[in-house]
Amino acid sequence: MRIAEELGLRVSPRLRVVALTGAGISLESGVPIFRGEGSMWEIPEARRLASRAGPPWNTRGTWEYYEWRRGLVSRCKPNPAHYALAEMEEYFEDFCLITQNVDGLHSRAGSRRVLELHGSMWRGRCLECGRVIELPETPLKALPPLCACGRPLRPDVVQFGEPIDPAVLSSALAACRSAELFLVVGTSAVVYPAAQMPLIAIESGARAVEINPNPTPLTPFMSLSIRGRAAESLPRLWEELLSSASA
Ligand code: OAD
């Protein structure tokens, strides 16, 4: 049976689709995940640099860690999973991409509207005047980079215990409540509020599909769990959904 039929969905541009992504989607691009095998904390340089990063986050030590990550990501390319989501945005009239990733790979794959729950490593924010400044070049000329007001910037990334931008959060929650199909790709689903979002969508009537080589706390709630790598499984799922639309 076709996946769309199995899920009880009619695929058309009017289907309301939300995708939530985590670090696993970028792993095959070469960006380390946060937890488990092959993760960030197994890299001695990451451990060394991260130990010097900390509040108020606008220090040279923090930026050395972020410059290491920015340099790493700048050498990575989006993979077929990122491109599949960019194609979905083109096809579906009401498509929302929510990511926990700060690597910017969704935008580089062509996604135009990305709700970045945890911010972006490609921006800095001023603790003094609140300006948010794009910092696309790496390496930066000076660490820490400075705001137009002369004060040091911090990375525009949400650290543990910090609030998510309320506008981003409310757009994400609104999308969850109206989703008909919810895709959960490459997240361990242990960090909130992201981990709650698929459950909000399911409670509101969405069918949910998880793509992850490993089970997660969300697995028991899924309509379908695909045990595979995002770069293979997501383009395959997208192709399969599209083929049932044109049938
Ligand atoms: P994690 O590192 O916690 O989880 C990565 C998930 O990707 C795991 O469930 C893996 O099984 C899965 N995975 C591994 N390889 C994969 C592949 N090829 N394709 C698909 N999935 C794969 O990363 P996140 O869930 O994104 O927050 O972590 C959430 C948040 O915790 C991050 O945004 C960050 C972190 O601390 C902040 O920095 C605030």
pLDDT one-digit tens code per residue, 76-128? 999 999 999 999 999 999 999 999 999 999 999 999 999 999 999 999 999 99
Topology annotation, domain 32-75+124-157: SIR2/SIRT2 'Small Domain' (3.30.1600)
If you take atom 9 of ligand 1, which residue's CA is the nearest one? Answer: 188
21 Cα nearest atom in ligand 1 = 26
Instruction: Give the end-to-end CA distance of the chain in Å, rounded to a whole number.
Output: 13
The per-residue pLDDT for 34 is 94
The per-residue pLDDT for 38 is 79
The per-residue pLDDT for 235 is 98
- Cis peptide upstream of residue 145 (ω within 30 degrees of 0): no
Confidence of residue 238 (pLDDT cuts 50, 70, 90): very high
194 Cα nearest atom in ligand 1 = 29
The per-residue pLDDT for 177 is 98
The per-residue pLDDT for 242 is 95
Helix (H) or strand (E) holding 8: none
Tokens of 102: 């700060």
The per-residue pLDDT for 202 is 98
C-alpha 207, offset from chain centre: 20
- Domain boundaries, given as residue ranges, for the chain: 3-30+78-118+163-246, 32-75+124-157
The per-residue pLDDT for 1 is 61
CA distance 24 to 102: 13
Each residue's pLDDT tens digit, 200-214: 999 999 999 999 999
The per-residue pLDDT for 247 is 56
State whether the beta carbon of 216 lies less than 6 angstroms from ligand 1.
Answer: yes
Residue 246 reports pLDDT greater than 70? no
If you take atom 32 of ligand 1, which residue's CA is the nearest one? Answer: 100
State whether the beta carbon of 158 lies less than 6 angstroms from ligand 1.
Answer: yes
If you take atom 23 of ligand 1, which residue's CA is the nearest one? Answer: 23
The per-residue pLDDT for 197 is 98
Q: Write the CA distances from 63 to 28, 79, 135, 165, 216, integer angstroms.
A: 25, 27, 12, 21, 32
- Averaged pLDDT, 138-163: 97
35 Cα nearest atom in ligand 1 = 2
Let me know if domain 3-30+78-118+163-246 sits in CATH 3.40.50.620.
no
Hey, which bits of 127-244 come out as E strands?
132-134, 153-157, 181-185, 207-211, 224-226
Q: Do domains 3-30+78-118+163-246 and 32-75+124-157 have the same CATH topology?
A: no
State whether the beta carbon of 233 lies less than 6 angstroms from ligand 1.
Answer: no
State whether the beta carbon of 40 lies less than 6 angstroms from ligand 1.
Answer: no
- Averaged pLDDT, 180-191: 98
> If DSSP codes are grouped into helix, strand and coil, which group holds residue 237?
helix
State whether the beta carbon of 27 lies less than 6 angstroms from ligand 1.
Answer: yes
- Averaged pLDDT, 180-192: 98
Each residue's pLDDT tens digit, 12-44: 999 999 999 999 999 999 999 999 887 999 999
pTM given for the model: 0.97
Q: Average pLDDT, whole number, for the chain?
A: 96
Question: Active-site residue 106, yes or no?
Answer: no
